Amino acid sequence: MIAARKLAGALGAEISGVDLSRPLSKEQFGEVKRLWLEHLVIFFRDQPLSEQQYMDFAAQFGEPIEYPLVKGIAGYPKIIEVKKLEHERTAFGAVWHSDTAYLERPPMASMLLAREVPPHGGDTLFANMYAAYESLSDGLKKSLSNLKALNSSTKADASKTREDRIKTDGASKADFAAEHPVVRTHPETGRKALYVNPGHTVRFAGWTEEESAPLLKYLFEVQTRPEITCRFSWQPGSIALWDNRCAQHNPVNDYHGHRRVMLRITLAGDAPK
């Protein structure tokens, strides 16, 4: 039987009673999908999948797509390595963000499969953007309701965390930018979520960066309040599947001198509304 154990009050649940090396039945998939939409991010333990099994599982949820800035692994262009090596000091994506918000159609979801983990540290934090939005005053919600924000792949906070991987595994050299609503409505749940993030959001559309900075700073603080986060500790064979439409994440860079290797698959999404 599929069971869920909550990690925190705001989001996150560990799912047990399922073997992801085999295709899920219609009933199993329906339950896993329901739990994912309810908890925003779900985790599985002890799933040492092959690359093909991993792709097969991802394809049940959506359409795997290539990540624009890093080349895929041999034989699997839609799986990238998210890794930090022993001599490196920066961790890929180690800043609060929603994946590739700088694309016109940001991904619906992302998933990570842990291959190698450090002896300590290397956890990932997740935050609930429904809760972030719902915590705002009615007046601020009204002010944000018609705003859009510019998201860029070159914002320093995020781009500097990719430098090591771009050097070794870089793909496209193009810069990406897109405007999206500051508050988006989830296409499946109908709930509203705050959709700016420290890693990619540069300014509000029609505003200067200087004008945007104070309000963005406040919103970024709201998004990462401890009470709306959860923390996941990895083991080899652990999988995380998170909903980029309503959750952010931040890998903790606290394991210098050790190696951490994950496999990531990104699933196609729609244009935020």
pLDDT band at 168 (very low <50, low <70, confident <90, very high): low
Cβ–Cβ under 8 Å, residues 218 and 168: no
pLDDT averaged over the chain? 94
> Which one has a higher pLDDT value, 31 or 166?
31
To the nearest 5 percent, what fractions of the chain are helix, strand and coil? 25, 30, 45
End-to-end CA, the chain: 36
Q: What are phi and psi of 155, to 5 degrees?
A: -60, 130
Which residues, 6+ apart, have CB-to-CB distance to 211 below 8 Å? Answer: 203, 204
The encoded tokens of residue 199 equal: 């890693």
Residue 149 reports pLDDT greater than 80: yes
Number of helices (H) and strands (E) in the chain: give both, helices first.
7, 16
Are the CB atoms for 118 and 110 separated by under 8 Å? Answer: no
Catalytic residue among 39, 97, 162, 245: 97
Which one is catalytic: 186, 245, 249, 260? 249
Q: Is 120 tagged catalytic? A: no
Using pLDDT thresholds of 50, 70 and 90, give the confidence band for residue 154: confident
| DSSP state for residue 162 in the 8-state scheme | G
Catalytic residue among 165, 200, 260, 264: 264
Coil, helix or strand at residue 130: helix
pLDDT at 106 over 60: yes
Q: Which of 50-54, 80-84, 113-117, 158-162 is least confident?
A: 158-162
249 catalytic residue (yes or no) = yes
User: Residue 60 in 3-state DSSP?
Assistant: helix
At residue 13 the predicted structure's pLDDT band, cuts being 50, 70 and 90, is very high
Return the number of other C-beta atoms located less than 10 Å from residue 142's C-beta: 10
The confidence band for 167, taking pLDDT boundaries of 50, 70 and 90, is low
Q: Judge whether 171 and 70 are in contact, CB under 8 Å.
A: yes
β-strands 183-185, 239-243: how paired?
unpaired
- The token duo for 72 is 């895929």
Q: Is the pLDDT of residue 174 over 90?
A: no
DSSP annotation string for 194-246: E---TTTEEEETTS-HHHHHHHHHHHHHHHT-GGGEEEE---TT-EEEEETTT
pLDDT for residue 92: 82
Active site residue 264: yes
Contact of 151 with 101, CB cutoff 8 Å: yes
Q: What are phi and psi of 225, to 5 degrees?
A: -60, 135
pLDDT tens figures, 232-252: 999 999 999 999 999 999 999
Model confidence band, residue 29 (pLDDT cutoffs 50, 70, 90): very high
What does the pLDDT read at residue 160? 53
86-105 pLDDT, tens digit each: 999 888 888 999 999 999 99
Percent of the chain with pLDDT over 70: 93
What pLDDT is attached to residue 172?
57
Tell me the torsion sign for CA atoms 22, 23, 27, 30: positive
Q: Which of 39, 99, 115, 184 is catalytic?
A: 99
Concerning whether 99 is annotated as a catalytic residue, the answer is yes
CB 72 within 8 A of CB 239: no
Confidence bin at 257 (pLDDT 50/70/90): very high
150 bridge partner residues: 179, 203
Q: Structure pTM?
A: 0.93
Which H helix or E strand runs over 44?
A: strand 41-44
User: Domains in the chain, ordered, with CATH?
Assistant: 3-267 (3.60.130.10)
**Which residues neighbour 226 within 8 Å (Cβ) at sequence distance 6 or greater?**
none
- Could you tell me the pLDDT band of residue 165, with boundaries at 50, 70 and 90? very low
The string of pLDDT tens digits covering residues 32-49 is 999 999 999 999 999 999
User: Has residue 69 got a pLDDT over 90?
Assistant: no
